[in-house]
Amino acid sequence: MKVIIPVAGFGTRLRPHTLHNPKVLLNVGGKPMIHYIINQLIKDKIASSIILVTGFLGEKIKDYLDNAFDFRFDYVEQAEAKGLGHAVYCAKKVFKNKNDEVMIILGDTLFDVDLKRMIKNNNSVIGVKTVDDPRRFGVVETDSDGYITRFVEKPASSEISSSKEAIVGLYYLKNSAKLFSSLEYIMNNKIKVKGEFQLTDALENMINNKEKMKKYFIDGWLDCGKPETLLETNRYLLNKSNKNKAPKKYKQINSRITEPVYIGKNVEIENSIIGPYATINDGCIIKNSIIDNSIIENSSLIENCVMSESIIGEGASVKRELLKINIGNYSEI
């Protein structure tokens, strides 16, 4: 099966980290987020072909994937980020047999899900998760047999009662020809939401043309699109990976490490308390600091800091002066 992974967005919500690095190469739990998606697809032998839709900083994604995996990826360019629907349409040229089945996975979203089971369905299925507040998401409405009757992109407050089943960014569609002709339809008719061609509008068009789709509940939905969700996903992955810990390749002097953590190669930790939930990547130096619930990219220096819920880019230096203080009784600072 062909798998389309759109990775052409700008990742504005994760700036400044995404100004020089594509979002999908940001590190979470010790690896770039895209690594987990590709690894699962290859390990589970799901994909005969993996198509990356690239744009901004796409060369960096290609360099990383071609070095990290022994797999021949297809890269197609989305010259302008005109929305997820448009990004998926850009992959059309790779589909020789237009009736292929297809999976679409957002590049900035990880899933703890059995993909093999998901694609055993007789119908097309759309990954969903029940959320408290659906206003930030696209949602699906279904009939009593569980078939999707409507897709609503970011429902307004008045529509909230309709459904709380948010679309999480994992789609399995039986017929790529119908997908591409629906995408063509929304683009020819300039059907846009917030200035972008949305995938949900094409899916809606497919069901209007009698395509049957069901929802598929996914519990392990790990969004990486915002600082707080990136850190949440980091915690989730560290909890999982610490069960089979790899041998230590870092130097530790007079320090305490509280699991779960990820500490990369050639890291030096001195007089510090690290963890829980700290990801410290290769070549970092940490001195006289306390760090938890944070991601520190390669080769950064942290000195005299107490740090939590932080994301530090590659090669950064965060040094604070130690406080020398001489104050009297009852003072407040």
Comparing CB distances to ligand UTP, the nearer of 78 and 279 is: 78
Contact residue for ligand UTP among 29, 127, 225, 283 (CB under 6 A): 225
Interface mask toward ligand UTP for 205-224; x: CB under 6 A: --------------------
Size of residue set near ligand UTP by CB under 6 A: 21
106 is a contact residue toward ligand UTP (CB under 6 A): yes
| Smallest distance from ligand UTP to CB 308, Å | 23
Comparing CB distances to ligand UTP, the nearer of 108 and 303 is: 108
Strands 109-112 and 220-223, bridge-based pairing: antiparallel
Q: Which range of residues in 104-112, 156-164, 248-256, 314-322 is near ligand UTP by CB under 6 A?
A: 104-112
Which residues from 41-60 bind ligand UTP, rule CB under 6 A? 53
- 214's enclosing H/E stretch is strand 213-217
Q: Which residue type is seen at 222?
A: L
Q: Which range of residues in 75-83, 112-120, 227-235, 287-295 is near ligand UTP by CB under 6 A?
A: 75-83
Location of structure tokens 């459904």: 163
| Smallest distance from ligand UTP to CB 26, Å | 11
28 is a contact residue toward ligand UTP (CB under 6 A): no
Contact residue for ligand UTP among 8, 28, 179, 231 (CB under 6 A): 8
Q: How far apart are CA 89 and CA 177, in angstroms?
A: 11
| Smallest distance from ligand UTP to CB 18, Å | 7
Q: Which range of residues in 102-110, 144-152, 159-167, 270-278 is near ligand UTP by CB under 6 A?
A: 102-110
The contacts found for 137-143 with CB under 8 angstroms, 24 or more apart, are 137/166, 137/167, 138/166, 138/167, 138/198, 138/200, 139/163, 139/164, 139/165, 139/166, 139/167, 140/165, 140/167, 140/215, 142/214, 142/215
Count of alpha carbons within 13 Å of 316, Cβ hemisphere only?
Answer: 15
84 is a contact residue toward ligand UTP (CB under 6 A): yes
Q: How far is CA 96 from CA 76, 100, 116, in A?
A: 14, 9, 24
Contact residue for ligand UTP among 12, 149, 258, 266 (CB under 6 A): 12
Q: Which range of residues in 9-17, 157-165, 185-193, 255-263 is near ligand UTP by CB under 6 A?
A: 9-17
Return the ∠ at Cα 23 (arms to 18 and 24), rounded to 5°: 155
Q: How far is CA 151 from CA 81, 119, 170, 178, 312, in A?
A: 22, 21, 15, 17, 38
Comparing CB distances to ligand UTP, the nearer of 108 and 201 is: 108
Closest residue by Cα to residue 250 from 226, 214, 229, 279: 279
Residues in contact with 95: Cβ distance below 8 Å, sequence separation at least 6, in sequence order: 2, 102, 176, 180
202 is a contact residue toward ligand UTP (CB under 6 A): no
Comparing CB distances to ligand UTP, the nearer of 61 and 278 is: 61
Per-residue burial over 50-68, b = 16 or more CB atoms within 10 Å of its CB, e = otherwise: bbbbbbbbbeebeebbeee
10 is a contact residue toward ligand UTP (CB under 6 A): yes
Which residues from 149-178 bind ligand UTP, rule CB under 6 A? none
| Smallest distance from ligand UTP to CB 23, Å | 5
Return the ∠ at Cα 128 (arms to 3 and 65), rounded to 5°: 30
- Residues engaged in binding ligand UTP (CB under 6 A): 6-13, 23, 53, 78, 81-84, 86-87, 106-108, 225
